[in-house]
Amino acid sequence: MSGGDDPRGGADWRPTAGMAAVALRARVLAEIRAFFAERGVLEVETPLLGAATVTDLHLASLETRVDGRRRFLQTSPEFAMKRLLAAGSGPIYQICKAFRDGESGRRHNPEFTLLEWYRPGYDHHRLMSEVGELLSRVLGVPAPETLSYREALERHAGIDPFGADARDLAGRARELGLAGLPDLGDDRDAWLDLLMSYTVEPRLGRGRPTLIYDYPPTQAALARLRGTGDEAVAERFEAYVEGVELANGYHELRDPAEQRRRFAADLARRRDRGLPQVPVDERLLAALAHGLPECAGVALGVDRLILLAAGASCLDEVLAFPHQRA
């Protein structure tokens, strides 16, 4: 990727995406808006700059100052949209920019376009169906297959993700011949993420979308848990098309005390790992205390959706100006 000046002596001012891809983006956005208009889902906007941000260990927020006060570019509009839901908005969607530091690659750009929507009264399975309908509409793909997380890892990596310990998972990664493995120690979730990223994901969504649901409780993020002990699963799902991870959704956690515990646990783990501390979103917690309706929500990467619609392999082909040329 060219970083600086081009050989003709000028700065690299030109878009990396062709005009056909620029036009395709406009069509995909119009299609998404028509999809939600027909279904009576309201388009909303929420701030990109927030006083608080996510505590998730694996999301790095970009920080700036407004009138001298610390502000965070949002990694997704989730917290603000939940405040609208708690205030009685009904079903809502948003198309906005999201920002994640340190995420740059063929399918990552530190600023990207996210489609996020919430459905009061839905659980994750009902929302998964709607994700499948949206994908059919925009990409013309057939109805999705659905696999539980356990089935996906058993089928594509040959291991039970709930029964295996870190040693088993590390051994399986070696058997699968994954190259130059990092030392992930006894971090089960990191081993699972490694197997998921390098072995399972490339096999998902081939010919039709794959929806993966019911994740290990340690990977719940903001999803609610179902069951207890060995039976517990997080009601979270992901959507894949042609090996590309496209969407992440939850049957949303509504319990403010549980939400506060998860924030605190994230912050403690951030401290252990020397990651920055971030302010907890007290306004979200207050909204949950007021009452979030039973709902499911999902965030879908629009740039990747356009990449798939264009049959491209690298985001540069569908972003007018990727980060290196921003």
Contact residues for other proteins, defined by CB under 8 A: 56, 58, 102-108, 178-182, 184, 187, 189-190, 192-194, 196-198, 201, 219, 221, 236, 238, 245, 247-248
Cβ(318)–Cβ(303) below 8 Å: yes
- How many helices (H) and strands (E) the chain has is answered by 9, 12
48 HSE (CA, 13 A, CB side)? 13
Q: Tell me the closest approach of the beta carbon of residue 143 to other proteins, in angstroms.
A: 21
Q: Tell me the closest approach of the beta carbon of residue 37 to other proteins, in angstroms.
A: 27
Q: Tell me the closest approach of the beta carbon of residue 26 to other proteins, in angstroms.
A: 27
**Three-class SS state of 83:** helix
Q: Tell me the closest approach of the beta carbon of residue 101 to other proteins, in angstroms.
A: 9
End-to-end CA distance of the chain: 13
Cβ(143)–Cβ(220) below 8 Å: no
Q: Tell me the closest approach of the beta carbon of residue 190 to other proteins, in angstroms.
A: 5
* Nearest to other proteins of 271, 290 (CB atom): 271
* Nearest to other proteins of 84, 300 (CB atom): 300
Q: Tell me the closest approach of the beta carbon of residue 76 to other proteins, in angstroms.
A: 11
Cβ(133)–Cβ(300) below 8 Å: no
Cβ(251)–Cβ(124) below 8 Å: yes
Residue 267's CB is within 10 A of a number of other CB atoms, namely: 17
Distance CA 145, CA 150 (A): 14
* Nearest to other proteins of 56, 258 (CB atom): 56
Distance CA 230, CA 142 (A): 35
Beta pairing, strands 210-215 & 145-148: parallel
* Nearest to other proteins of 141, 221 (CB atom): 221
Angle at CA of residue 197, ends 261 and 178, nearest 5°: 125
Cβ(303)–Cβ(98) below 8 Å: no
* Nearest to other proteins of 84, 212 (CB atom): 212
* Nearest to other proteins of 24, 297 (CB atom): 297
* Nearest to other proteins of 194, 309 (CB atom): 194
Q: Tell me the closest approach of the beta carbon of residue 110 to other proteins, in angstroms.
A: 10
Cβ(318)–Cβ(310) below 8 Å: yes
* Nearest to other proteins of 266, 281 (CB atom): 266
Q: Tell me the closest approach of the beta carbon of residue 248 to other proteins, in angstroms.
A: 4
Paired strand residues for 218: none
